[in-house]
A and B are shown apart, each in its own frame.
Chain A
Amino acid sequence: MNIDTAEALSLDENSEVSFSQLLVLSGLSDNDLRELVDHGALTPINPNASSWMFTSYCVVVARKASRLSRDFELDAHAVSVLLGFVEKIEALESELHALRAGALGHGPAGTSDTVSR
């Protein structure tokens, strides 16, 4: 059977989604999404713009918010607080991972470009 190959899109800082796309992709209500923005859990690229755009990484955060809200029966404020803690833990884990990899074990003074083919 011939199966078409589908393209996987990175959810990162390099692409954008609109407010209405974020609503559909996250399953959040309009009100909950606006509250998450008000509480600082999600930040539009230009908060002063008439129609908000977000980096596509916000899809990851908004879906997480949607799951936390549904599974723990939390309101948007509680989800925002929880997301803040989760974000801090992820940042610490990332730092720990970098330390283990050797990234932070030695200062930049020891770094030098010395490659040749």
Chain B
Amino acid sequence: MKYKDYYKILGVARDASADDIKKAYRKLARKYHPDVSKEKNAEESFKEVSEAYETLRDPEKRAAFDQLGSHAAGQEFRPPPDWSQHFASGSPFDQMGQNAFDDIDLADLLAGLTGRARGRSGGRAGAREGPIPGPDYEAMVRITLEQAFHGTEIDLDLSVAEYDERGVAHRVPHRIKVRIPKGVIDGQKLRVPGKGGKGMQGASPGDLYLDIQVQPHPLFRTSGQDLYVDLPVAPWEAVLGTSVELPTLAGAVSLKVPASTRAGQQLRLAGRGLSRPGGKSGDLFAIVAIVVPTVVNERERSLYRELSESSNFDPRAHFKLGAAA
């Protein structure tokens, strides 16, 4: 079992009062709660903070935790030989051999002392009598834009608590294969019914909730189901019009760039974005960028000069209008 220093996680002294512990928790919850925080690794940090608070706010669990001694965070340890008799009497951990603690999580151990298990939505499910629905699992899934466009299957490897016949939670690896529907977008939430933790005493299993993160793409940017791609064109292509081969997530298409196309103009390819469940697909927008050559040969320079002398085009005409006003 790995040691976690709950006092250090909350940033309080080992003799901190209940009020100080509550204040420290609230401050850290404000900073790391995944629903209100933009901190990096907020979810992971909040999980630690929440776990620490769950233990230290409860005098019984805090006393049991204190008697485990002080170790370095992450250090493997076992409870002292008489610990179970003092703190786990009547609990599933009573009479457990010393080696039996190896695959037990500290939070599960302390939660088990008060005869409670985690129920749905991560909340407490009450006393361990009667059926207890399985806990929900939550996982962040990073997929590519191509996977979001086509839909994909992923393997999720989770470390979950499974209860043995005595009701002792053991950490076990758990693999779940999930089909992600096509058209999911960054930040979307998905539910996989029945793929959370097992229910106890005949109760239903929990669900698995997925938080989708779509990795940035080298070509396409996303906004909901719409996609955006920069389309560089040469000045003469913008003036005269042309046809270009444009990459899309479903393969390249031929795109007509009309004559007199302006920089920043958006050319819409209807229905070539991400698909919407039960509705029409998003669009792909090609944003025109007029790119000038940085190196020109003599012949080109001569043609540009000729164009300069024969053209009446004034791109700054509005400056004069503004100055006259």
Contact = CB atoms under 8 A, between A and B. Distances in A.
Contacts of A26: 121
B222 A72 contact: no
Given A5-B177, A7-B179, A9-B191, A101 B221 contact: yes
B176 interface: yes
A83 to B, nearest CB: 9
Contact of A4 (B35, B177, B191): B177
A61 to B, nearest CB: 10
Nearest to A73: B26
A111 B266 contact: yes
B98 interface: no
A68 B35 contact: yes
A28 B224 CA distance: 29
Interface in B253-301: 253-258, 262, 264-270, 272, 277-279, 285, 287
Contacts of B256: 114-116
Contacts of B5: none
B189 A14 contact: no
A70 B264 CA distance: 48
Contacts of A113: 268-270
A11 to B, nearest CB: 5
The size class of the interface chain B forms with chain A is 35 or more
A9 B26 contact: no
Interface residues of A, number: 45
Given A3-B177, A115-B270, A8 B287 contact: no
A64 interface: yes
Contacts of B228: 101-103
B50 interface: yes
Contacts of A25: 120-121, 191, 207
Interface in A74-117: 82, 86, 94, 97-98, 100-103, 105-106, 110-117
A50 interface: no
A72 B29 CA distance: 7
Given A14-B277, A24-B120, A105-B264, A6 B192 contact: yes
A26 B209 CA distance: 12
A66 B123 contact: yes
B123 A70 contact: yes
A114 B285 contact: no
Given A97-B223, A101-B221, A106 B179 contact: no
A60 interface: yes
Contact of B222 (A12, A27, A101): A101
Given A3-B177, A103-B285, A105-B264, A117 B254 contact: yes
Nearest to A72: B29
A98 B123 contact: no
Interface string A20-49: 000011110000000000000000000000
B116 interface: no
A117 B285 CA distance: 16
Interface of A: 3-12, 14, 24-27, 56, 59-60, 63-64, 66-68, 70-72, 82, 86, 94, 97-98, 100-103, 105-106, 110-117
9 contacts: A5-B179, A27-B122, A63-B209, A67-B34, A82-B36, A94-B224, A101-B222, A111-B267, A112-B268
